[in-house]
Amino acid sequence: MTREEFEKLIEEEFPNAVPEKYRGLIENVAFLVEDGSTDDLLGLYQGIPATARGDWYGMGATLPDTITLYQKPIEKCAKEDRTSVAQVIRETIWHEVAHHFGFDEDQVERREDERNGNMAP
């Protein structure tokens, strides 16, 4: 899949990944695409979570947070099928946006289990 096709899938899947009521709450976040990570991550959120931003946030020059999606690991996870790639992108966006909203890895995993109907007994 070309980078352009991959980026188009990100645009298409963003509304499917993030419910409309939360989209307007995402501020100062840039989405990036890179080939891969050293440890086969699908995505990475870097920045100051919305829950940790105080009144001082945005005063002066404030670089955007970043959500990076790693194309090669996502394609590998999806076995390069376009429909599966779209699904993995959607899930990765959701996961990283949850970090932007202040969820730690355990909380994100619990929410993913709830979304997928995999509730622990």
For residues 15 and 20, give the distance between their C-alpha atoms in angstroms, rounded to a whole number. Answer: 7
Residue boundaries of the structural domains of the chain: 3-115
- Does position 121 have pLDDT exceeding 50, yes or no? no
- Does position 1 have pLDDT exceeding 70, yes or no? yes
Based on the number of CB atoms within 10 Å of its own CB, is 51 exposed (0-12), middle (13-18) or buried (19 or more)?
exposed
Query: Cα angle at 89 between 52 and 6, to 5 degrees?
Result: 120
pLDDT at residue number 57 = 80
Q: What is the pTM of this model?
A: 0.88
The class (CATH top level) of 3-115 is alpha beta
pLDDT tens digits, residue range 44-89? 999 999 888 888 887 777 889 999 999 999 999 998 677 899 999 9
pLDDT tens digits, residue range 4-42? 999 999 999 999 999 999 999 998 899 999 999 888 899
